[in-house]
Structure 1
Amino acid sequence: MGQAEHSRDRTQSTLKGATLEWVVASVAGVIVAAMLGFLLFQAFTKADADPDPLAVVKSVTPVSNGYRMEISARNKGGGTAANIKFRAELRSEGRSVESADVTFSYLPSHSKRQGAFIFENDPRGYNVVLQAESYTAP
């Protein structure tokens, strides 16, 4: 009788182990299928997407040679941009008072980078026109 109970316990243990293996294999299969689906989705939806660079002013602080206007540059588009040139222009009564350029070497899709313009005049006293002027495909 002791041998029969021992055999039954071993059979139940084997069944539990096999069930656990199937559960783990099923979960792994679902994860692999989801990853493949995501990669295929990315490949077909982002291949022709264009970059959409834009910048916003974060702060203006006095520095030894003028004023530093810090910006946050973002790429809201699906494509990557390289050599992105932003221009900031200080305007008063419709005329340009001063301008400066900054170039970001690389801006991946849906990413953010920080940069700064240096001006002689305080940008807080003018209308600031900030725009992306150009970029290249990497």
Structure 2
Amino acid sequence: MTKTEQPSRSIAEWVTFSVASLIVAIIVSLVGYTWLNEKNQPPILSVTKKQTIREVDGQFYVPFEVENTGGDTAESVQIMAELLINGKVTETGEQQIDFLSSGETEEGAFIFSQNPRQGQLNLRVGSYKLP
């Protein structure tokens, strides 16, 4: 029985092995870090009206911003607006945002035929669903 000798590894093989091992170690550590520090909170959604209301061709554009400060992603986020003039709801509007991940902000606008400055405008998040 003869013993065959394994050829020694070249420097290029050792460098390639080291780089590949480093990449795998980084990926494993990032997955572990994400898993340990993941916020297991439901979505926390807030909507704010921006200050600038603009009028174009007799229509009033009211920009808004919705933000998810929670841990999970929200799908089908429904934003609702009510315009009250003299205590009565004169116009309503709805927006649908497909998804809003944690820390993400989306912008949109409601369009009214009556001036929102002459009444009270209420914006709120109506609903969402979990993916």
After TM superposition, the score normalised by the length of structure 1 is: 0.67
Give the residue type in structure 1 aligned to 2:47. Answer: A
Which 5+ residue runs of structure 2 have no aligned equivalent? 1-21
User: In structure 2, what is the Cα distance between the partners aligned to 1:51 and 1:113?
Assistant: 14
Aligned mate of 1:85, from 67, 78, 98: 78
User: In structure 1, what is the Cα distance between the partners aligned to 2:37 and 2:86?
Assistant: 45
Q: Secondary structure at the match of 1:133?
A: strand
Q: Secondary structure at the match of 2:110?
A: strand
After superposition, where does 1:1-138 map in structure 2 within 5 Å? 32=26, 36=29, 39-46=31-38, 48-58=40-50, 59-64=52-57, 66-138=59-131
Q: Pairwise CA RMSD of aligned residues?
A: 2.6
Q: Please state how far the C-alpha of 1:62 moved relative to its aligned partner.
A: 0.9
Q: Secondary structure at the match of 1:49?
A: coil
| Larger-gyration structure (1/2) | 1
Cα pair distance change 1:42/1:92, threshold 3 Å: farther
Q: Please state how far the C-alpha of 1:78 moved relative to its aligned partner.
A: 1.0
Q: Please state how far the C-alpha of 1:51 moved relative to its aligned partner.
A: 0.7
After TM superposition, the score normalised by the length of structure 2 is: 0.70
User: In structure 2, what is the Cα distance between the partners aligned to 1:65 and 1:84?
Assistant: 29
Q: Secondary structure at the match of 2:53?
A: strand
Q: Give the 4+ runs in structure 1 shifted more than 4 A.
A: none
- State the number of aligned residues: 110
Contact 1:46–1:79, Cα closer than 8 Å, also in 2: no
Give the residue type in structure 1 aligned to 2:49. Answer: V
Cα pair distance change 1:48/1:124, threshold 3 Å: same
Residues 79-118 of structure 1: per-residue CA shift (max 9 Å, x gap):
1111100001112343212110111111111111111111
